Each structure stands twice: as C-alpha cells, then as structure tokens.
Amino acid sequence: MATIERLTDESRIVVAGHRGYKAAYPENTLLAFEEALKRGVDMLEFDLRMSKDGVTVVIHDDTVDRTTDGTGSVNELTLAELKRLDAGGWFGRSFEGLRIPTFAELCELMAAYPDTLLNVEIKPSEQARAIADKVVPMLEASGLLARCVFTCFDAGIIAYLHEVHGVKTQGFPAALMSNFEHGEAGTYAKMWAVGLPMKLLTSELVAQMRSLGLLAWCYCPDDEEQVDYALSCGVSLMTVNDILPALRRRASDRIAAV
C-alpha cells in the first residue's frame, strides 16, 4: 500500500485528479473518481462538507445550485434530501441520475485502489472542525489515513488538523488563505505542502516555498504547454481537471527512464 510519504521523492511526476476526472465527468461524483482511477491517477483530490444531519458528503460548493438540479445550502439539507438530487444532469444528459456521494462511499471505492493517494480538502465553514473530527477517525479505521494529505484555504483549520490530529497538511500562499498567521511558528510551519495556482506559478516561488521546507505542488495545468511549464518551474505534483496531458507526460518520462 502506498503512503503519502512517497511524495517526498520529487523525482517522479505525480498526477492528482481534481474532483476526480473533472474535465470529462460531473465533478465529485463516484463516476468522476472511478474514471480517474481507471486511467491511473496517483492521487484523488475531493471536497468535503457536512449535511444538516451531520453526514460528511463530497461536494465543492456551499450550495447545491451549480452541480445539482436542486437549490439551497448543503448544511441546511439532510442526507436524504441531498441524495434525492441529480448531481450529473447539469453536466450532460447522459449523466442524469448520478448522486452526491457520502465520504463513506468514497472510502469504500478507494479500498480497491491501495496505491492511490488522497488529497482531502475540507471546505471552510462553521462545520470544518467537526468534519475533521469525523473523517480522521474514519480514515484511520478504514486503513486510508496513511495515504492522505489534508487541505483547507482556512489557515485555522490547517492549524487544527496539524495540532489536534497530527496529520500532514497542504495549504496555499499566504495571500490566498483566510486567518493566515505569519512568523516562524505561523501557518507555513504547520503545512507539509503548498498548492500553487498556475496564475502565480514561477520557479522563484517554488524555490521560496521549498526554502520554507514545503513540498511545492501546483493546480491546474490542463494542457501540454501548461504541464511542461509547471515541470520547468520545478513542480512534480500537479492537480489537474483534465488528467490526460499530465498522464501522457508521466508515461513518456517513464519510457525515457527505461
């Protein structure tokens, strides 16, 4: 079984599917995750929120409006109400009938892919700490915790994950985070890795983040030119919407190394 520690070897290209295979399938659905897994991504990135009745579900937005046929805040809908929504038809008629997955359902899927890592993004919300308190024990019980890094744009949640749960975290540059604490014992000291958006990505920024002892990753290089640029900046892990360009580059590098 793979563990998250393997990412400290930055000599190999690592491809993470952003919300699954987001470019071709409805994001954060089991189908999007399955299609990314079948194509051989090294990692899945996904987003967690909590339903009104305290169930952790996989969805990006704080409302269901964009990615389902319903309306309203995720945390004001029960799991039963969320499960009645169509989470695929907005993307295309052939995907009608897909449902918002629970985190437990995603964990069940991952059991068949022991070498795939997980980037667990907890969305900033009043429920974020409660989500962390729920999912860390779930991951430990299912044998998945060693494969996980935890992400949040709220530096307070990064600190909570680091200090209370002792897990590895991925944050972002200070300007992109809320509640960021500067200084030697601040937010960067509680991060294991940093996610750099393509619009900010430079080799100088990668070097700066590495000087702080952080692994430097990026999101989202979705064509060959962007993939090549990201690699030229010194990044090895790429979180992508379209997994194919990065997977092709990974495959060509492996062939060249033989």
Contacts of 20 (CB under 8 A, 6+ apart): 27, 28, 29, 31, 32, 33, 34, 35, 36, 44, 46
Does residue 219 sit within a domain?
A: no
What is the three-class DSSP state of 69? Answer: coil
| Residue 258, domain member (yes or no) | no
Q: pLDDT, tens digit, for every residue of 154-212?
A: 999 999 999 999 999 999 999 999 999 999 999 999 999 999 999 999 999 999 999 99
Q: Largest Cα–Cα distance of the chain, in whole Å?
A: 54
pLDDT number for residue 20: 98
Total number of domains constituting the chain: 1
Domain hosting residue 51, numbered range:
4-193
Q: Examine residue 215 and state whether it is found in any structural domain, yes or no.
A: no
Q: What is the pLDDT of residue 203?
A: 98
* 149: β partners: 119
**Does 23 or 254 have the greater pLDDT score?**
23
**213 part of a folded domain:** no
112 domain residue, yes or no: yes
Summarize pLDDT for 40-58 with one digit per residue, the tens: 999 999 999 999 999 999 9
Over 50: is that where the pLDDT of 99 sits? yes
CB-based burial, 122-132: b 16+ in 10 Å, e otherwise = bbbbebbbebb
Residue 29 has pLDDT above 70, yes or no: yes
Check pLDDT > 70 for residue 257: no
Cα 190 to Cα 180: distance, rounded to the nearest angstrom: 11
**CATH code of residue 119:** 3.20.20.190
Separation CA 40–CA 116 (nearest Å): 9
Mean pLDDT across the chain: 97
- Does some domain include residue 123? yes
Distance CA 130, CA 120 (A): 14
pLDDT tens for residues 56-95? 999 999 999 999 999 999 999 999 999 999 999 999 999 9
> Residue 1: which pLDDT band, with cuts at 50, 70 and 90?
confident
Residue 54 in any domain: the answer is: yes
As annotated, the active-site residues are 18, 60
**Residue 258: which pLDDT band, with cuts at 50, 70 and 90?**
very low
